[in-house]
């Protein structure tokens, strides 16, 4: 029933106002006040195109701007496996101006854009491109403003990105990528054949992740260097993690499948 009730994926508090902004996969960008209650819809379409798969966001509190992703303009969240297998390139990075209430597209043609994180100096924003296993940097300021580039390639499917107090970034990897995925990325017709086969969702997911339920968190510097990698190689405690948040010497780790929050002491 998620396509009717909604599926919140990205949550961010505006520290100055206390408002909670919500990126809902089906209901678009929403906000709820500091005291809670019913959420108000802010963005349901951009450039006349309804949002299909809103995913994550980050807030620039100085300039009152929200940067958010739409993973696909063709597939909904419950269809994320076909989106990955067909190498769908309809994802978008957008911004919403809180004051003017205008939403605009910054970057399109992305392959499953997912997590979003603004740099400490607000000069660029990072976006996880899940299918291609890489992080994209979109420049907001400076001589490269408006341009984008590959920030880093990772050895798995990146989900959310969260900046720590030092200005570095933690990236949660849903899983490592198997040999099948590496081949699929160079042969787009193979994925289209796979989704036509009589395979269940768990079977398709098993093929994508190579049958191994890893849990991997990667720490990146402001320059895109890999500083640290934490793994539960066999997925005994955590698996398929979606977010890593660093606070007071601890990592708070969330998963799309495990019914609890993991805590790791740094």
List pLDDT tens digits, range 165-217: 999 999 999 998 766 777 777 676 777 787 888 888 788 888 778 777 889 99
Helices (H), the chain: 2-5, 80-85, 179-185, 188-194, 201-209
CB-count exposure of residue 202 (10 Å: 0-12, 13-18, 19+): exposed
State mean pLDDT over 4-23.
Answer: 96
214 or 251, which is more confident: 251
Q: What is the dihedral of CA 212, 178, 225, 62, to 10 degrees?
A: -80
State mean pLDDT over 76-95.
Answer: 92
The angle subtended at Cα 69 by Cα 111 and Cα 53, nearest 5°, is 80
Closest listed residue to residue 130, CA positions, set 26, 233, 208: 208
Q: What is the pTM of this model?
A: 0.94
State mean pLDDT over 98-127.
Answer: 97
CA distances 21 to 106, 163, 165, 175, Å, are 20, 17, 21, 27
Give whichever of 22-26, 74-78, 213-217 has the largest mean pLDDT.
Answer: 22-26
Closest listed residue to residue 138, CA positions, set 43, 213, 71, 68: 68
- Per-residue pLDDT, 127: 98
- CATH architecture of the domain formed by 2-265: 6 Propeller (2.120)
pLDDT higher than threshold 80 for residue 162: yes
Helices (H), 27-161: 80-85
- Per-residue pLDDT, 129: 97
State mean pLDDT over 245-251.
Answer: 96
DSSP designation for 259? S
pLDDT averaged over every residue in the chain: 93
- Per-residue pLDDT, 197: 84
């Amino acid at each position: 029933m998620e396509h009717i009730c909604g599926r919140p994926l990205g949550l961010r508090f505006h520290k100055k106002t206390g408002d909670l902004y919500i990126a809902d996969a089906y209901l678009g960008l929403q906000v709820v006040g500091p005291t809670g209650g019913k959420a108000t819809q802010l963005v349901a379409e951009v450039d006349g195109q309804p949002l299909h798969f809103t995913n994550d966001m980050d807030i620039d509190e100085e300039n009152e701007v929200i940067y958010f992703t739409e993973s696909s303009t063709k597939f909904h969240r419950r269809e994320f496996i076909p989106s990955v297998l067909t190498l769908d390139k309809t994802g978008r990075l957008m911004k919403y101006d809180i004051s003017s209430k205008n939403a605009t597209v910054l970057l399109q043609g992305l392959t499953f854009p997912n997590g979003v994180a603004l740099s400490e100096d607000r000069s660029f924003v990072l976006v996880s491109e899940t299918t291609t296993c890489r992080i994209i940097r979109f420049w907001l300021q400076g001589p490269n403003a408006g341009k984008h580039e590959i920030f880093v390639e990772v050895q798995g499917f990146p989900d959310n990105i969260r900046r720590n107090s030092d200005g570095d970034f933690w990236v949660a990897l849903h899983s490592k990528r198997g040999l099948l995925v590496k081949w699929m990325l160079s042969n787009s017709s193979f994925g289209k054949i796979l989704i036509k086969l009589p395979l269940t969702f768990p079977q398709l997911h098993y093929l994508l992740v190579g049958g191994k339920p890893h849990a991997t968190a990667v720490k990146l510097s402001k320059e895109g260097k890999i500083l640290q990698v934490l793994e539960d190689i066999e997925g005994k405690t955590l698996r398929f993690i979606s977010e890593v948040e660093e606070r007071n010497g601890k990592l708070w780790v969330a998963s799309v499948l495990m019914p609890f929050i993991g805590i790791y002491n740094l």
